[in-house]
Chain A
Amino acid sequence: MLRTALHLSHFAAMVVFALLVSIVLAGLARRTAAERIRYALWTLMMFLLVGVGIAWLMYPFSR
């Protein structure tokens, strides 16, 4: 049982989410291991860039 809750920062939660989803997308979209690793890294980078970019754009409206 998880007696204690996981305490992840917003960024860490985003990284974990992006990493796991990137691995799935790479597994579905590419056939070989090398292609999958390249695709997963590319997707992970895009997730993080777009996530941080949207956060940066929304920052002026956060208060």
Chain B
Amino acid sequence: MASEAPLTENSRKVNPARPIFIAFAAWVVPGLGHLLLKRWGRALIFFLAAGGLAVVGYGMRGEVFTPLSSDPFGALGFLADICAGVFYFLPRFLEASGPDISRAAGDYGTRFIAAAGIVNLLGVLDAYAIASRRRS
């Protein structure tokens, strides 16, 4: 029994760079952090949910906030949007006709895109917590 204690102690040690790498991967591609942690279910959930929200938001011609916004709400919107990782850069490919917030659908689309970022932020925090063994 005494020889098992150091093994258990060693197995609990976490490379401090790993959770940061996992969190970065989870931010870049929603679900990738969980995929690297072999949490297949959560990886699929985060990829489909963040991706679904972003793609529907772009389909509804929602607006993506740019980093250089003079409006504080624009800055908050950018922070939410950028959390979606790769999906933040999709409108260049998906939104051929650009955003249109003159209609309610475009305004809803803007919220969908922001929600995709917030959902992915939850995924990043969850992946970080799992990688640092703070959550199972």
A residues at B contact (CB < 8 Å)? 1-3, 5-8, 10, 13, 16-17, 20-21, 23-24, 27-28, 33
Contact = CB atoms under 8 A, between A and B. Distances in A.
Contacts of B48: 20, 23
18 contacts: A1-B94, A3-B97, A5-B97, A5-B100, A5-B105, A6-B56, A6-B59, A8-B56, A10-B104, A13-B60, A13-B112, A20-B49, A21-B119, A24-B123, A27-B42, A27-B45, A28-B42, A28-B122
Contacts of B93: 1
Contacts of A28: 42, 122, 126
B134 to A, nearest CB: 14
Give the bracket for the number of chain B residues in contact with chain A. Answer: 20 to 34
Contacts of A1: 93-94, 96
Contacts, number: 65
Interface in B107-126: 108, 111-112, 115, 119, 122-123, 126
Contacts of A2: 55, 58-59, 94-96
B53 A17 contact: yes
Contact of A24 (B61, B105, B112, B122): B122
The binding surface of chain A is classed by DSSP as helix
Interface of B: 41-42, 45-46, 48-49, 52-53, 55-56, 58-61, 93-97, 100, 104-105, 108, 111-112, 115, 119, 122-123, 126
Contact of B49 (A3, A7, A23): A23
B49 A24 contact: yes
